[in-house]
Amino acid sequence: MKRIAGTTLALLTLACFVLAQGTLSINGAGATFPYPIYSKWFDEYHKKFSTIQINYQSQGSGAGIKQVTEGTVDFGATDGPMNDEQLKAYRDKHGSGILHFPTVLGAVVPTYNISNVTSSLKFTPEALAGIYLGKITKWNDLAITGPNKGVSLPANDIVVVHRADGSGTTYCWTDYLSKISDEWKSKVGKGTSVNWPVGLGGKGNEGVMGVVKQTPNSIGYVELIYAIQNNTPFGDVRNSSGEFVKASLAGVSAAAEGAAKNMPDDFRVSITDAPGKIAYPISTFTWLLVPEKISDAAKRDALKGFLNWMMTDGQNYTEGLAYGKLPPPVVAKETKAIAKIQ
């Protein structure tokens, strides 16, 4: 008995070392916003190149920024671009910079769980800000019922759900709220982690979706694909042109049009509340954070290879998962930027 146990132990340990050869493992962590498409991409890429394993952990944009700065992961991912302070911190720590690479376009939608309401409610910016500030507390408040004549909304309390972790989705949501509500801007501000006036916290887009799905009379903000995959209704939002727009690929691409033409070199741009008749107001790019200097040649080549694949073949998977493709001018600019990775 003891001998069997001993040999098994020895064999297992040996196996662990043997299996360690041959595969290149790259680790990344960050945004939950694009997790559905990233997990699809890395899975497909592994099928294509079986010796390259890109392990992506959906932890939230905040964790993505922090861990890539610490150097504990090879790349990060975020929907809230790193601010100048964070970029400087990275440069100070590593001696070289970090690059943002947009991957897809996405929409943040207000999704809700109200019994007997399966249609898309129309939300004005004031309604959304009021709900998240805690000033609008019941579903049958005028601000909500106003644009939604014909839908019977209950007199129940609104259960507000937000992110408990550092999130790029939060960044996009609060960026939008800061643009359309001065009160929000001064009271709460925008960021990946804010001091929420009200609400329950969920971990990750998945967590927020989970809480909304299980809590009656709740509202939360999630990336479009999460609402679709979970068959929960989500609302139309009124954009800066006065139109109530439902989140869609067309709406997101329209929001990115202006930015696509004038994309800054570091690709950090906000496209919330964009002008345009069909533009969806709560849209955002999401970025991969790749260090400028990667000392491991194999990893560097693998990452560069992936980035190229991502911008060509990878974009074919976006629409199936309700993410918007990168606009062609952005792709062209990015392809040139890949050369910066040394």
Partner 1 sequence: MTSRLRWRKFVSGFMLTMTGVCALISVSVLFLILGYLVYHGGISISWNFFTKLPAPVGETGGGMANAIVGSGKMLLLATFIGVPIGFLGAIYLAEFSGATTAFVVRYAADLLNGAPSIVIGIFAYALVVLPFKHFSTLAGGFALGLMMIPITLRSTEEFLRAVPHPLREGAMALGASKWKTIATVIVPAAYRGILTAVLLAFARVAGETAPLLFTALGNSFWSRGWNQPTASLPAMIYTYALAPYDDWHRQAWAAGLVLLVLILVINIVARAILSRGIAVPRS
Partner 2 sequence: MGTSFTSVPGAGPLVGGRSFLSRLRQGDEIARLITLMFAISVVLVTLLLVFELWQGSVLPRHKFGFNFFRTSVWDPIFDQFGALPFIYGTVVTAGVALLLAVPLGIGAAIFLAELAPTRVSDTLEFFIDLLAAVPSVIYGLLGVFIVVPVMRSYIQPALKNALGFLPLFQGPAFGVGFLTAGIVLAIMVIPYIISVSREVLLSVPRDQREAALSLGATRWESTWKVVVPFARAGIFGSIFLALARALGETIAVTMVIGNTPAISASLFSPGYSIAAVIANELTEATSNLHYQSLIELGLVLFLLTFILNGLARLLILATAQRGSEMGHV
Residues near partner 1 (CB under 8 A) are 9, 12-13, 16-17, 19-21, 23, 25, 27, 29, 35-36, 39-40, 42-43, 46, 53, 55-57, 59, 70-73, 202-204, 206-207, 209-210, 213, 225-226, 229-230, 321
Strands of the sheet with 218-223, listed across from one edge: 52-58, 24-30, 75-78, 283-291, 98-113, 218-223, 159-163, 200-202
Q: Which stretch binds partner 2 (CB under 8 A): 192-200, 231-239, 264-272, 331-339?
A: 192-200
Q: Does 230 bind partner 2 (CB under 8 A)?
A: no
Q: Does position 67 bind partner 2 by CB under 8 A?
A: yes
Size of the site for partner 2 (CB under 8 A): 34
Interaction partner, residue 220 (partner 1, partner 2, none; CB < 5-8 Å by kind): none
Q: What is the token pair recorded at 62?
A: 């905040």
Q: Which is nearer to partner 1, 208 or 311 (CB)?
A: 208
Angle at 190 between CA 209 and CA 234, to 5 degrees: 30
Rank residues 63 and 263 by Cβ distance to partner 1 and give the closer one. Answer: 63
Q: Which long-range contacts (CB under 8 A, 24 or more apart) does 327-330 make?
A: 327/253, 327/256, 327/257, 327/260, 328/260, 329/260, 329/261, 329/263, 330/102, 330/256, 330/260, 330/263, 330/267
User: x/- string (CB under 8 A) for partner 2, residues 69-98?
Assistant: x----------------x--x---------
In this complex, which beta carbon is closest to partner 1, that of residue 184 or of residue 323?
323
CB atoms within 10 A of CB 342: 10
- Contacting residue, 195, 231, 262, 295, with partner 2 by CB under 8 A: 195
Distance CA 53, CA 187 (A): 44
By a kind-dependent CB cut-off of 5 to 8 A, residue 166 interacts, out of partner 1, partner 2, none, with: partner 2
- Check: CB of residue 7 under 8 Å from CB of residue 53: no
Nearer to partner 1, 23 or 241 (CB): 23
Those residues whose C-beta lies under 8 Å from the C-beta of residue 156, and which sit 6 or more positions away, are 114, 138, 139, 216, 217
Return the range that interacts with partner 2 (CB under 8 A); candidates 2-10, 91-99, 186-194, 243-251. Answer: 186-194
Q: To the nearest whole angstrom, how small is the minimum distance from the Cβ of residue 5 to partner 2? A: 22
Across 125-142, b (16+ Cβ under 10 Å) vs e yields bebbbbbbbeebeebebe
Q: Find, among 268, 297, 270, the residue nearest to 283 by Cα.
A: 270
Q: What is the DSSP letter of 157?
A: B
Instruction: Rank residues 21 and 214 by Cβ distance to partner 2 and give the closer one.
Output: 214
179 is a contact residue toward partner 2 (CB under 8 A): no
Q: Which is nearer to partner 1, 29 or 131 (CB)?
A: 29
200 binds, among partner 1, partner 2, none (CB under 5 to 8 A by kind): partner 2
